[in-house]
Chains A and B, each alone.
Chain A
């Protein structure tokens, strides 16, 4: 069976994501650096192959490839991986790659099941807005998926800290660490080098502020705590989530606005209270609430990360629930 170029590229992308996800998942637990050297290039290869596939599909068919669930899911996973790779290089977050790439691979594989071949777009989709609105909205979904993954990791570490606080591993040592708050103490306190050696991590101010119970447990030899200590601090994770949402929220805002402009041109009203529009509005409200809550120190962290998780669930509902299960003006499944 002879495969077309876009099929070859799609298989390359999917295969690369699966292998990269496996490598980075193992890295997440083992922290063997060579796995990053293996997984990161594969993730990049998959991402490049996916964008190339979208371009090839457009060139081969002449039809804008994002007008059905297959095409939009393809861009969704490609953008999620692209945004993640940017974060991984900037914030050294390859540890999260396994989860994100696994999700990207799942969404991409699911998208392939909706591939019905090439179809010309229906009249309402024959608009230059399709080339503006769809990529913006899908890219915002991708950014929110990145924030979701980091929020989940944040929550795991946060609740692990609660757990270790509960069992009070080396309580005296924890109390000792809890009393330290500044860079000067870190530089001079020998207890920290013990922790650093045990956990194999570079400790900073935030680590002490964040998770003293995990650090204490790590220092006392608890392997799970030692592994948790290798993750960024809660503050750093929260910061990454914030930055991903800060990409997604303007994108979804512009996406909703351009969608409204398109709707005005196509249907006569920029807002029709169509289920897709209102579901997107719902997600926008959640992330708006996230941003407002994030201005409050007391709400920043646990609560905002839960809001981020709920926000992504709302995105999934908006993306799949409305497209597939609820009929409306946006029911472009195929």
Chain B
């Protein structure tokens, strides 16, 4: 058991193992970028060769970010992060003071100066202290060593970054455990109850603004604004008038509501042998809804509203503004399409066997997303901590200077200097050269 634990710690505490996990994480993430997510299996079989499509569907690559692979690799990374933190990062915070072989360290220098070793040591310690180095002295085997550390606190940068990553993961987990989200579309003048919160949202009015702009490539109809005026009744049972815009969500009892989409509902008049049929369809249809013609196998599908019909071609225009709207209707017989028609409002189409269908008038609806996420503050704190750790790690270089001063005889001392950093030697080479030159000067004076 102990051996298995040691091997686990050995493996998961290895930086290269962590990097290997990053590689797998990166590849899985890239798969999700390249392969469309959340589509019907048929879409993949139409887009890819059959073996690839089968692999996509069977390996959950069609929903990769929620697949066992993806969740598993995140779990492994978090495990590795935890093991690395305890095995490598925390022990590295305060490396013990011990003597070194000065000339075996790539960053080393030596010089002689007039004076006894004690006074030279004092001069060097004083010079280092004035430059912000933390100076400590220790005696090993009768030889006094001076150790100087700079930015020692920055050794905690990696630890802070790891803690930040863990806090983000914790915040995300809180959403999975306790949060919820959903969507709802509400027709103007109607209300909807949010199942999770029992809040009532009534859409009083929805408006959108589109601006035609002539560009070098032609006319572009640029959306400028989507505005929903709603009345919301939350836990306090007091209706409140609020406005929802893109980028301006509303907060109702901690649940946020976002403007996400809009569309045109349609009211129909259906007649049979010239007589109106009440309650058919039973409600205002949303885009994509359909109703059945009684006594037949026929259905009428309200596909969408064409806000503007091009007068010359008689086809839907690219202009999304409401000028001369028409409904696009399709008729099906036992599930088979019989055809599609562009039907101007208040114009009838013959649905067969004496049935006439008339799109009477459109009603705007607004689509909302709602979300309750109690993990957001924690994710925010985690992001801040992660960034702080990254910045400390990248921009502050902890370095240790080893100074040994020996008696060289004739009233002179020999000074040996060496330096190590947490990021190797090259990164500190120029600074070390400047520092040794300064220390040499100080020792001479």
User: Taking beta carbons and an 8 Å cutoff, which residues of A are in contact with B?
Assistant: 115-117, 119-120, 122-124, 126-127, 129, 181-183, 204-206, 209, 233, 235-236, 238-239, 242, 246, 249-250, 253-254, 257, 260-261, 264-270, 273, 275, 278-279, 281-282, 285-286, 288-289, 291-297, 299-300, 322, 326, 334
Contact = CB atoms under 8 A, between A and B. Distances in A.
| Residue of A115, A267, A286, A334 with most chain B CB atoms under a 10 A cut-off | A267
B379 interface: yes
B419 to A, nearest CB: 13
12 contacts: A116-B216, A183-B109, A204-B429, A246-B394, A261-B380, A268-B249, A268-B256, A269-B371, A270-B379, A285-B22, A297-B424, A334-B220
A253 B215 contact: no
Contacts of A236: 426
B426 A269 contact: no
Contacts of B127: none
A282 B33 contact: yes
B34 to A, nearest CB: 8
B258 A267 contact: yes
Interface in B211-225: 211, 213-217, 220, 222-225
A299 B29 CA distance: 24
Nearest to A322: B33
B173 to A, nearest CB: 14
A123 B247 CA distance: 8
A116 B23 CA distance: 39
Contacts of B245: 123
A122 B223 contact: yes
Contacts of B103: 182
| Residue of A123, A265, A292 with most chain B CB atoms under a 10 A cut-off | A123
Nearest to A258: B383
A115 B216 CA distance: 8
A205 B259 CA distance: 63
Nearest to A307: B19
Interface string B390-414: 1101110000000000000000000
A303 to B, nearest CB: 10
Contact of A292 (B22, B30, B65, B246): B22
Contact of B260 (A129, A268, A292): A268
Interface in B369-392: 369-371, 373, 376, 379-380, 383, 386-387, 390-391
Contacts of A181: 106
A278 B245 CA distance: 26
B181 A268 contact: yes
Given A250-B391, A250-B394, A120 B224 contact: yes
A281 B29 contact: yes
B215 A119 contact: yes
Interface residues of B, number: 62
A270 B376 contact: yes
A275 B395 CA distance: 31
B106 to A, nearest CB: 8
A284 B382 CA distance: 17
Contacts, number: 144
Given A233-B426, A278-B29, 14 more contacts: A120-B213, A123-B226, A126-B246, A242-B427, A250-B391, A250-B394, A268-B258, A269-B371, A282-B26, A285-B25, A286-B26, A293-B19, A297-B424, A334-B220
Contacts of B281: none
List of 3 A-B pairs having minimum Cβ-Cβ separation, nearest first: A235-B426, A123-B246, A268-B258
A206 B426 contact: yes
A293 B22 CA distance: 11
| Residue of A120, A257, A268 with most chain B CB atoms under a 10 A cut-off | A268
B23 A273 contact: no
B234 interface: no
A273 B373 CA distance: 17
B390 A250 contact: yes
Interface string B341-381: 00000000000000000000000000001110100100110
A289 B19 contact: yes
A209 B370 CA distance: 61
B282 interface: no
A253 B386 contact: yes
Contacts of B11: none
| Residue of B247, B249, B387 with most chain A CB atoms under a 10 A cut-off | B247
Contacts of A183: 109
B396 to A, nearest CB: 11
A253 B26 CA distance: 16
Nearest to A321: B33
B423 interface: yes
A289 B429 contact: no
Contacts of A127: 247
Contacts of B373: 269
Contact of A296 (B15, B371, B379): B15
